[in-house]
Amino acid sequence: MRCPYCDNRKTKVIDSRAIEDGSAIRRRRRCTECGSLFTTFERRETVGLMVVKRDGVRERYSREKLTSGFKKACSKLDVSADVIERSIARIEEEIMKGQGKDISASVLGDMVMESLRQLDEIAYLRFASVYKRFGDVSEFQKELGELMPEEADRPL
């Protein structure tokens, strides 16, 4: 593992622990050259997993893309990076249990929406507005009504 500060190839692991219910390992490392501390993560590879888009196009699954979507939805909200990582790990665990090589973008999107619904209602609505392609305020109000049925009769 290369040091991110001086690019030295020799680093020493000073602490390792399982995270995300054992599906990943967090390692604290020290560079033998400059002495800097940094963290690395090891997780199971999602070998060959493809996401099938609405138009039929297939693309390789990207954890980074999923993380980006979560972070955009949770931007400026009280949702920690650790909580986001655990949510993503749970989604990946579900995908891996499916044992298929393909997952539809709609199934993956639904999994993200359900996870965000449990984390934070605002993050859920932000994601839903993009994912479901809201065209106007009435669609937003309908989704809000499903989220909070007792409030559905009141205008925005």
Task: Report pLDDT digits (tens) over 101-123.
Answer: 889 999 999 999 999 999 998 99
Do 117 and 133 lie in a common domain? yes
Is there a domain that residue 31 lies in? yes
Report whether 36 contacts 30 (CB < 8 A).
Answer: yes
Q: Work out how many domains the chain is built from and give that number.
A: 2
Do 50 and 116 lie in a common domain? yes
Residue in 5, 75, 65, 76 with CA at minimum distance from that of residue 34: 5
Is there a domain that residue 156 lies in? no
Cα 96 to Cα 110: distance, rounded to the nearest angstrom: 16
Enter the pTM of the model: 0.65
Rg (CA), the chain: 19
Predicted confidence (pLDDT) per residue in 61-84, tens digit: 998 999 999 999 999 999 988 899
For residue 109, give every residue at least 6 positions away whose Cβ sits within 8 Å of its Cβ, in sequence order, or none: 131
Q: Which domain holds residue 5?
A: 1-43
Do 91 and 131 lie in a common domain? yes
pLDDT confidence of residue 31: 95
Do 27 and 78 lie in a common domain? no
